[in-house]
Structure 1
Amino acid sequence: MKPLAVDRSPEPRPAGCPLRIAMISEHASPLAPLGGRDSGGQNVYVAQVARHLGRLGHRVDVFTRRDSPTLPAVIELDERVRVIPVDAGPAAPVRKEELLPLMPAFTRFVARHVRRGGYDLAHANFFMSGLCAAELKRELGLPFAVTFHALGKVRRLHQGAADGFPDARIAIEERIVREADAVIAECPQDEVDLITLYAAEPERLVTIPCGFDPREFAPGDRLAARAALGLAPSDKVVLQLGRLVPRKGIDNVIAALARLPGDLRARLLVVGGESRDPEPALTPEIGRLREVARMEGVADRVEFVGSRGRDELRDYYVAADVFVSTPWYEPFGITPLEAMACGTPVLGANVGGIAHTVAHGETGYLVPPKDPDALADKLALVLAQPRLAARLGQLAVRRVHALFTWEKVAARLAEAFVAVAGRRVETYAAPVAAATVVERGFDGLLAVLARARGSLRDDIVRAADLLAATFARGGKVLVCGNGGSATDAQHFAAELVGRFLAPGRAGLPVVALTADSAVLTAWANDVGYDDVFARQVQALGRPGDALVGISTSGRSANVIAALRAARDGGLATFALLGGSGGAALDLADCAVLVPSRETQRVQEVHTLALHLICELVEERVLARSDAVPVASRRQRALSQGEPHVPDHRFVPRG
């Protein structure tokens, strides 16, 4: 592999070419026992992602702060995966809320390794690791991706004055979002928060969930698991497992337990804490929760187990009748996935990642956080109906295997990392001949065109058919996009209102929504930019019209909102997209999806596609035997009582 300083190709490297990844996780070590105040899902994520990237052939070094003087300089975690303890501050545990002053020393240590390590990119986990990665990019030109795992503005919203992180966290996160080459959202709500609270560019956002390892978690013999844990076969067991901190909402579970009917005397196992010994002196939250249980009258039915090793958790999941997790907010939540993988139904708070992983009424149920009555209702339902619980568990296993294995997560992350590694910060790179830059640009475009030529031909024809049919029935076309796509929208409208190739044809009714700056700025200023195009669609669109949405990623929030408003209003929808197509793809009756994630390549192919669509639309308009102006056809259809508006869903010819 070529070192970063001389590997100048901007094209993503082949999928089979291994990457050298500097994974940064300042407080969440893959070596730490789980369940403590600062050890939980992020530790699992870092360990599993590193291992599975290694199994894909990539080399991963995990940089995490040294919290013990006995740790060696390098620990082999797995094949091609190492953990490198970073000397920054005392070689002892330090609360993560107090780590920010140690980050300059942490960054200097990592920078020394990066200078001699030949890394292709950094993957930062949490905002302080993101700060380190941003400094590495500024100093050394190393591109980076970031997974935040939690966002300061969301935390501050829910915890208020109890949030112990410094105010500087917000500004640091905003900088990271601006400078990261890729931002990994862990669920749809995380993506929305990043866009709305941090103005993240949708083109650099990639939504990739967390996962589970089928070799760790799978269904098993419930009676055997209960025997191993000393539980009676007839017990009704509710399980809560994870970090013991107030925001996890364990008090809500205890209150719900107290509200169960008298014939459903269930017991609650609470797994987690700073040590195997569940003492309040070691884990203060246990003391508070014991008092909650006493006040609710269920102290004899709530058992605090203490922390347990990864190899012990499966028995707890398998032994439980139901797993419960009702935090106030949750960036993702790995424990519900692990429970589902073991065939245990999950009752979860309808927040964050849990709302994405638990299929309500299919693999478990979602309830509001901080609502013990709603939780008690669902607990009673599942505990009283073993057949329902078994069916929920079966469907849970099927769902997590289809969507949430660490193998699938790592493969998607590797794809994103390959794209990141193909970018280089020009400020720190060796000079490149101008002719090479030009050749590289042509080569990159030709490569995308070669892939697009076969895959997009039929889609371009279908798009032209959709728009020609719109004009034929007397409808108009609305077009929207942002940035360069806004220019494409106006260009497209100009070609069809004016003429493209065919002289003498009538102008076609096409409106570029991006051209109305008064409406755009007024609505964006008064309400919000996410709905500017949707507002115009609602005002100008009529059933039988069509909307063209242009987005290089398919994740532009205002284009997605416009497509949704068009569908609701009876308009046909066509989307010109790139990358994976994002949420816009599902809202389009017809789509042209450019097979590239590079914005400039996508835009170049968009221009070609729009020109081809203009040419085909003109051919179809001129081929009509009744050369009656569009407006006259609309009036004729209305005057004769003809239904000129078909179902808005477009059906291709033939």
Structure 2
Amino acid sequence: MRIALVSAHASPLAVSGGDAGGLNVYVARLAEQLAARGHDVTVHTRRDDPGLPDRVVLPGGVVVEHVPAGPPETLPADTLAAHTAAFGAHLARAWARARPDVVHAHFWLSGLAAQTGVRPHGTPLVQTFHTLAADPRRRADGEYTEDTEDTADPGRPERAAAERRLGRTCGRALATATDEADALVTLGVPARRVSVVPCGVDAEHFHPAADTGRTPERRQRHRLLACGPPAPGAGYDLAVRALAEVPDAELLVAGGPPAGVVPDDPEAERLTALARRAGVADRIRLLGAVAPDDMPALLRSADLVLCTALHEPFGFAPLEAMACAVPVLATDAGAHRDCVADGTTGRLVAPGDPGALADAVRALLAEERLRRQYGRNGRERVLRHHTWARVADAVERVYRLALPEPSPAAGPPASGDRPGRLEHVGAAGRDGPV
């Protein structure tokens, strides 16, 4: 197939440059795996630097096209919508010359541009939102009814309305978490057009024998590790408060700005002040950005990996820990529910409850044999369901569901397109097997 991925503000090139967020990683890994299957894959992303070439061909054959839409510079997130029409017009012209078989848009702005691009040609559009401002659980102030918060966007009404229209009119909606899929159905997207494919992890990079990287010296009997930049939605407040009830443990936070500037980071300053008030300042270390080559060893050095996000669209942190055979203690929120098998690869606890988190930490730290079993189960679950190859297989099946119906002579449509049923493609599901 000729596949076009539209990722307006998250270039796959950022992954090799070390400045990657979750969406950059998702698009990059999906693109390279689809290309490895023999598909012709082009990623369309907005030009944000005048020095970028029009096209970059990656070693695996993926083409990255830099679309001229707005000034060629990094723009604030709340200004990108103004350039969506120009982005879409460029796609329509490009696809008039070489029409893709299927278009897969990532994030709502990419979806709006892709809709403009496919409209003249009737190309099937698959939409992945990754986060939803239109999530019916959100209040007007942008917070979730279960005390979760998406800090990437304040939930503007125009975005919410656009997401509803886009979800109802795209060929298929591909969600990376069951929560997201349920929200889409609540918003009026027919369940038969919604598929769930959880995210993946590089199980060769993250593996149980990854002990060659650098790790900080252990200062306490037990080590707890949280991965991801300090941010209000990361839920690290819960981890700090829980640490006060676990006296023989240290907490390391890996992520955020470079180590040298962590002390000046506002969120790091806030967490440090909270740790002082909780009496645990001597047992928490904010490491800042950790080199990718050092992350597997850092994960392996932990007794438990804490994933405390109040809302999680990707689930990379628990998957990376599981790939390294490290047990996970995660909030029962978002993609965590699809990645972590509660009571099998780790534990899920209620978001926003530091007492429940502390109780679960103490219980697991007291059971070394159980932790080891959770770790082995986690590695097995990753290999069965969450490698990027598995993800690409499942996404490819969703693409085929989006293609025009075959003629009767070609046989029945692909399995899984059952009216009224939410489709989990290539995933274990929340309560599925390891």
Give the conservation status (yes or no) of the 8 Å contact 2:197–2:424. no
In the TM superposition, what whole-angstrom CA distance separates every residue of 1:80-99 from its partner, at most 9, and x where no partner exists? Answer: 21222222233333232331
Hey, what does 2:272 align to over in structure 1?
A: 290
User: Counterpart of 1:396 in structure 2: which amino acid?
Assistant: G
Hey, what does 1:216 align to over in structure 2?
A: 205
434, 448, 456: which is aligned to 2:412? 448
Give the conservation status (yes or no) of the 8 Å contact 1:158–1:328. no
Using the alignment, how far apart are the partners of 2:315 and 2:2 within structure 1? 28
Paired residue secondary structure (2:58): strand
Hey, what does 1:272 align to over in structure 2?
A: 255
Using the alignment, how far apart are the partners of 2:297 and 2:67 within structure 1? 35
Hey, what does 2:87 align to over in structure 1?
A: 106
Distance 1:273 1:220, change over 3 A: same
Paired residue secondary structure (1:229): coil
Correspondence 1:247 to 2:233:
yes
Using the alignment, how far apart are the partners of 1:43 and 1:182 within structure 2? 22
Hey, what does 1:632 align to over in structure 2?
A: none
Correspondence 1:331 to 2:295:
no
User: Counterpart of 2:81 in structure 1: which amino acid?
Assistant: L
Give the conservation status (yes or no) of the 8 Å contact 1:144–1:182. yes
320, 332, 340: which is aligned to 1:358? 340
167, 172, 179: which is aligned to 1:189? 179
Structure 2 counterparts to residues 193-212 of structure 1, below 5 A = 193-196=183-186, 198-212=187-201
More helix by share: 1
Superposed displacement of residue 23, structure 1: 0.5
User: Counterpart of 2:404 in structure 1: which amino acid?
Assistant: G
Same amino acid, percent of matched pairs: 36
Using the alignment, how far apart are the partners of 2:289 and 2:139 within structure 1? 26
In the TM superposition, what whole-angstrom CA distance separates every residue of 1:551-571 from its partner, at most 9, and x where no partner exists? Answer: 9615448xxxxxxxxxxxxxx
Q: Which moved more, 1:169-178 or 1:241-250?
A: 241-250
Using the alignment, how far apart are the partners of 2:107 and 2:167 within structure 1? 12
RMSD, aligned α-carbons: 3.0
Distance 1:61 1:155, change over 3 A: farther
Superposed displacement of residue 234, structure 1: 6.4
Distance 1:46 1:300, change over 3 A: same
Correspondence 1:368 to 2:335:
no
Correspondence 1:392 to 2:362:
no
Using the alignment, how far apart are the partners of 1:43 and 1:155 within structure 2? 26
Hey, what does 1:572 align to over in structure 2?
A: none
Using the alignment, how far apart are the partners of 2:271 and 2:323 within structure 1? 28
In the TM superposition, what whole-angstrom CA distance separates every residue of 1:376-419 from its partner, at most 9, and x where no partner exists? Answer: 11111222332222111111111111111111110111122123
Give the conservation status (yes or no) of the 8 Å contact 2:179–2:334. yes
In the TM superposition, what whole-angstrom CA distance separates every residue of 1:129-188 from its partner, at most 9, and x where no partner exists? Answer: 111111122233222101111111239716825753532101111111122111102222
Give the conservation status (yes or no) of the 8 Å contact 1:278–1:305. no
User: Counterpart of 1:182 in structure 2: which amino acid?
Assistant: R
Hey, what does 1:636 align to over in structure 2?
A: none
Correspondence 1:122 to 2:116:
no
Give the conservation status (yes or no) of the 8 Å contact 2:88–2:115. no
Superposed displacement of residue 70, structure 1: 3.1
In the TM superposition, what whole-angstrom CA distance separates every residue of 1:478-534 from its partner, at most 9, and x where no partner exists? Answer: xxxxxxxxxxxxxxxxxxxxxxxxxxxxxxxxxxxxxxxxxxxxxxxxxxxxxxxxx
Using the alignment, how far apart are the partners of 1:293 and 1:221 within structure 2? 31
Q: Larger relative CO (CA 8 A, sep 6+): 1 or 2?
A: 2
Using the alignment, how far apart are the partners of 2:230 and 2:15 within structure 1? 14
Distance 1:64 1:382, change over 3 A: same
Superposed displacement of residue 342, structure 1: 0.5
Paired residue secondary structure (2:274): helix
Give the conservation status (yes or no) of the 8 Å contact 1:26–1:63. yes
Structure 2 counterparts to residues 529-568 of structure 1, below 5 A = 553=418, 555-556=420-421
Q: Which moved more, 1:380-389 or 1:47-56?
A: 380-389
Q: Which moved more, 1:166-175 or 1:60-69?
A: 60-69
Hey, what does 2:147 align to over in structure 1?
A: none
156, 174, 177: which is aligned to 2:167? 177
Correspondence 1:70 to 2:51:
yes
Distance 1:299 1:154, change over 3 A: farther
57, 78, 88: which is aligned to 1:97? 78
Distance 1:417 1:174, change over 3 A: same
Hey, what does 1:8 align to over in structure 2?
A: none
Task: Point out where structure 2 has 5 or more consecutive residues left out of the alignment.
Answer: 144-152
Using the alignment, how far apart are the partners of 1:329 and 1:30 within structure 2? 24
Distance 1:299 1:411, change over 3 A: same
In the TM superposition, what whole-angstrom CA distance separates every residue of 1:212-267 from its partner, at most 9, and x where no partner exists? Answer: 12222111255x55xx223238652211112432112111111111221x3x1x22
Superposed displacement of residue 279, structure 1: 2.7
Correspondence 1:306 to 2:296:
no
Correspondence 1:28 to 2:10:
yes
208, 230, 236: which is aligned to 2:216? 230
Paired residue secondary structure (1:391): helix
Hey, what does 2:116 align to over in structure 1?
A: 135
Structure 2 counterparts to residues 346-495 of structure 1, below 5 A = 346-422=328-404, 441-444=407-410, 447-448=411-412
User: Counterpart of 1:340 in structure 2: which amino acid?
Assistant: M
Paired residue secondary structure (2:226): strand
Distance 1:552 1:276, change over 3 A: same
Using the alignment, how far apart are the partners of 2:316 and 2:22 within structure 1? 6
User: Counterpart of 2:171 in structure 1: which amino acid?
Assistant: D
Superposed displacement of residue 68, structure 1: 2.7
Paired residue secondary structure (1:255): helix
Using the alignment, how far apart are the partners of 1:125 and 1:161 within structure 2? 21
Using the alignment, how far apart are the partners of 1:337 and 1:290 within structure 2? 27
Superposed displacement of residue 73, structure 1: 2.2
Using the alignment, how far apart are the partners of 1:277 and 1:94 within structure 2? 26
Give the conservation status (yes or no) of the 8 Å contact 2:114–2:125. yes
Using the alignment, how far apart are the partners of 1:32 and 1:579 within structure 2? 30
Distance 1:326 1:233, change over 3 A: closer
Distance 1:300 1:95, change over 3 A: farther
Using the alignment, how far apart are the partners of 2:210 and 2:219 within structure 1? 11
Paired residue secondary structure (2:135): helix
Give TM-score scaled by structure 2 length.
Answer: 0.87
